[in-house]
Chains A and B, each alone.
Chain A
């Protein structure tokens, strides 16, 4: 079945450093979503990418969808302590209501 892997599983950075998490699917995706889960919280939708090669920015966050629509990345510039949490990509399975979540990347930011 479809699998969605994320690397790294964990990342510790100093405040002000950049951070990137990568998401890889075993199949071609119709679109990809990114969610953030703060410690003790619930996943919250960040963004959706649909087109091949698409790049979207939200302040210090840059999201990219691969040309082959099988991978995606989230890059955070100059991390802040408020960026702490687990970042998930999610791949809605085409033609179904099923969302497969990636394995997640847990980010810790050291002040």
Chain B
């Protein structure tokens, strides 16, 4: 069983569309994250939820809206997609303490045309 699973793996869409990425973890972790990896491989944190509560919200356009229906799921909805949104989006989970490792999903490659 995959510990952190994301869907879809690839997402190709037109500018202006709205899309969602889903993430689920079966590790029993309290904390989940969204990271964005650009073409230079930089990994930037976007959001984090702890027990369904938003605890980290980096400087991300409000076109991006995370939702956590329960602590095992964290989805990312993106409105009015722009070319600059093209990247790989990784979901991750952890126990929520600063000395605990992160488990990453396999990533969603988003291409905005």
Contacts and interface: CB of A to CB of B under 8 A. Distances in A.
Interface of A: 30-31, 33, 35, 37, 41-45, 48, 50, 86, 88, 90, 92-101, 103-104, 106
B56 A98 contact: yes
B56 A97 contact: yes
Contacts of A88: 43
Contact of B98 (A42, A95, A106): A95
A101 B43 contact: yes
Given A96-B56, A97-B55, A43 B43 contact: yes
Contacts, number: 63
* Closest A-B pairs by Cβ, 10 of them: A92-B98, A45-B101, A101-B43, A42-B104, A104-B41, A43-B104, A42-B106, A42-B107, A97-B48, A86-B41
B48 A45 contact: no
Given A33-B101, A48-B99, A86-B41, A97 B31 contact: yes
Q: In terms of DSSP, what is the predominant structure of the interface of chain B?
A: strand
B101 A48 contact: yes
A44 B99 contact: no
Given A44-B104, A88-B43, A104-B41, A97 B99 contact: no
Size class of B's contact patch? Answer: 20 to 34
Contacts of A35: 102
Nearest to A106: B41
B98 A93 contact: yes
A97 B96 contact: yes
Given A92-B98, A104-B42, 12 more contacts: A33-B102, A35-B102, A42-B106, A43-B102, A45-B103, A48-B101, A92-B99, A93-B98, A95-B98, A97-B48, A97-B50, A103-B42
